[in-house]
Structure 1
Amino acid sequence: MKLKPHALRRGDRIAVIAPASWPDREKTLKAFQFLKARGLEVVYGEALARQYGYLAGTDQERVEELHQAFADPDIKAVFCVCGGYGTARIAAHINYELIQAHPKIFWGYSDITFLLNAIYQRTGLVTFHGPMLSSDLGLEDVHPLTQETFEQLFAPTTLCYTNALQALETIVPGKAEGPLVGGNLSLLVSTLGTPFEIDTRNKILFIEEVDEEPYRIDRMLNQLKMAGKLEQAAGIVLCDFHNCQPVKRKQSLTLDQIFKDHIAPLQKPTLSGFKIGHCSPNLAVPIGVMASMDTHKQALVIQEPGVSD
């Protein structure tokens, strides 16, 4: 069963939580102005204060924060402040029945990939892979399209991402249709062999990454391929691979060579170059809604809104 959260309205209260690493406080406070300018009331509790090593608090503290945000009837959306590391540590401790009983917007990316897909797979709730406060909206110069991508939360909206927005390349020609799933490559691979293993069957899989050398991209794509996740997908959307350059191993394959080695033989329609992920602009997509891709038109179309009226 697919669940859609209600669209936001001016005056709504939204919770900002830190389920992974702790954020840059100054950047986050600056990003709050972006949300407040859209008529939203920001509630953030201890999300900016807790530190437990590289985590934003203990596992229990971060789970409780997430539970409180979903259980509070006055909260209409839950925004993750930043990624880093830590969401996989708490996935098994989350009360998914609570989330299913109180469906609301859940937004983030990078390390949040683990929770975006876990929540969707366990509850049917559409989640959102989109720019976060500390790492995106707290920057000095935020791209207009990064700001605009939040508008899909305020009214049911369909989206069409084409080469008018970014230069796209066809890896394998064709058309595909299915629910959209995916996110950060490292996190998708980390789900394999766990109760939260990514389900790509008859779905459009989108992938992005940051700061990983090509040989590591190669290794992770190979693992996804050997696990059957690429072959089971209806189509593949390769997004931004920011700063994924050879450092340790200077003699390297290019990312295009790696994509063609692992993906082209599967003959799944594949487009690359979308500005989704650790990039500017950073375009948001809802996870779990029907989407289609057409390499001839070089387009990814989100066929249904991520929110309801």
Structure 2
Amino acid sequence: MSCGAAIFSSRLDDPSIRAILCARGGYGTARLVDGLDFSRFPQQPKWIAGFSDITVLNSHLLRLGYASIHGVMPVLFHQAGGEAALESLRRALFGEAALPLQVAPHRLNRPGTATGRLVGGNLSLLHTITGTASQASFDGRILFLEDLDEYLYHIDRMMLHLHRSGQLAGLAGLVVGHFSQMRDNTIPFGSAAEEIIDSYAGLYHFPVGYGFPVGHEADNMALVVGREARLEVGPEGARLTMDAAGAV
């Protein structure tokens, strides 16, 4: 076990710790996760919160049967415009009812209503953990996606992989968050990130809502991975409501 994994595992087992807030994202969680010891986690359950690279932990915990929080991290606590995101994290940590997320109509929205447990996070990391012990099933669930600083053809490649591997086929619904600072090549790819996602979502019949405040922007509202939720998409826009539940 690496030093980092040993330290993290000791925090998982510490009964005095009620939550672990990952300080920042970046790179490396997929290298760390196999060294973590969750064998005593049922006796000492606690919130683990973060986003971006922490998607690996969010998914790994869901596969083990535990909820976790996809939300703003301490390195971003004081960013301008992030006050609502920080408050949403506080509400999730203390088991208070989450406020519904309502977004304006989007030209790519696909109408309908879906219910299911939330799964998802950073598209690049979901692609990375496909076929590993950290991959959580999407079947019957509402998938949410976000990403940062990726080439548009990478977005297409990853969405194609989710499609060809059958991971999109059983979705109840799809929530699309921020796709920030996307890159393109000298010869343009020809589609924006949301249009790429739509080209694959359109192969199925689940509802899809675009423009949700989730991802690498200041308005990164907390979502509880594993929490039962309801997605409603119609002419007035899209709405995501999480069921009320107590803290871990």
With structure 2 as the length reference, what TM-score do the two structures score? 0.92
Judged with a 3 Å threshold, the aligned counterparts in structure 2 of structure 1 residues 275 and 91 are, in CA distance, closer, same or farther, namely same
Q: Distance in 1 between matches of 2:243 and 2:122?
A: 22
Larger Rg: 1
1:234 equivalent to 2:172? Answer yes
Q: Distance in 1 between matches of 2:49 and 2:246?
A: 11
Q: Deviations over 1:115-173 (max 9, x none)?
A: 11101211x22100001112x1254x25221221123122431331002xx66555321
Q: Distance in 2 between matches of 1:181 and 1:248?
A: 35
Q: Deviations over 1:169-206 (max 9, x none)?
A: 55321111000010000000111121222310100000
Which AA in structure 1 matches 2:170? Q
In the alignment, structure 2 segments of 5+ residues that lack a partner are none
SS in 2 for 1:282: coil
SS in 2 for 1:279: coil
Judged with a 3 Å threshold, the aligned counterparts in structure 2 of structure 1 residues 125 and 198 are, in CA distance, closer, same or farther, namely closer
Correspondence list, 1:37-52, <5 A: none
With structure 1 as the length reference, what TM-score do the two structures score? 0.75
SS in 2 for 1:222: helix
Judged with a 3 Å threshold, the aligned counterparts in structure 2 of structure 1 residues 167 and 83 are, in CA distance, closer, same or farther, namely farther
Which of the numbers 131, 143, 146 marks the counterpart of 2:72? 131
Which AA in structure 2 matches 1:299? R
1:95 is aligned to: 37
Q: Distance in 2 between matches of 1:128 and 1:168?
A: 26
2:243 is aligned to: 303
Deviation, 1:244, is: 1.3
Asked whether the equivalents of residues 276 and 282 of structure 1 are also in contact (C-alpha less than 8 Å), the reply is yes
Return structure 1 stretches of 4+ with deviation > 4 angstroms: 166-170
1:151 is aligned to: 90
SS in 2 for 1:100: coil
SS in 2 for 1:113: helix
Asked whether the equivalents of residues 9 and 37 of structure 2 are also in contact (C-alpha less than 8 Å), the reply is yes
1:180 equivalent to 2:122? Answer no
Q: Distance in 1 between matches of 2:246 and 2:154?
A: 33
2:5 is aligned to: 63
1:162 equivalent to 2:162? Answer no
Q: Distance in 2 between matches of 1:224 and 1:79?
A: 29
Kindly indicate whether structure 1 or structure 2 has the higher relative contact order, using CA contacts under 8 Å at least 6 residues apart: 2
Which AA in structure 2 matches 1:238? V
Q: Distance in 2 between matches of 1:169 and 1:103?
A: 42
Deviation, 1:61, is: 1.5
Correspondence list, 1:78-117, <5 A: 78-117=20-59
Q: Distance in 1 between matches of 2:59 and 2:90?
A: 22
Asked whether the equivalents of residues 231 and 268 of structure 1 are also in contact (C-alpha less than 8 Å), the reply is no
- Percent identical among aligned pairs is 30
Q: Distance in 1 between matches of 2:219 and 2:70?
A: 13
Judged with a 3 Å threshold, the aligned counterparts in structure 2 of structure 1 residues 248 and 77 are, in CA distance, closer, same or farther, namely farther
Q: Distance in 1 between matches of 2:8 and 2:29?
A: 11
1:20 is aligned to: none
Deviation, 1:305, is: 2.8
Judged with a 3 Å threshold, the aligned counterparts in structure 2 of structure 1 residues 179 and 223 are, in CA distance, closer, same or farther, namely same
Name the stretch that deviates more: 168-177 or 69-78: 168-177
Asked whether the equivalents of residues 213 and 246 of structure 1 are also in contact (C-alpha less than 8 Å), the reply is yes
Asked whether the equivalents of residues 152 and 182 of structure 2 are also in contact (C-alpha less than 8 Å), the reply is yes
Q: Deviations over 1:259-288 (max 9, x none)?
A: 221111212111111110101111110010
Judged with a 3 Å threshold, the aligned counterparts in structure 2 of structure 1 residues 148 and 158 are, in CA distance, closer, same or farther, namely closer
Which AA in structure 2 matches 1:81? A
1:290 equivalent to 2:231? Answer no
SS in 2 for 1:278: coil
Q: Distance in 2 between matches of 1:249 and 1:131?
A: 35
Asked whether the equivalents of residues 127 and 161 of structure 2 are also in contact (C-alpha less than 8 Å), the reply is yes
Q: Distance in 1 between matches of 2:123 and 2:186?
A: 20
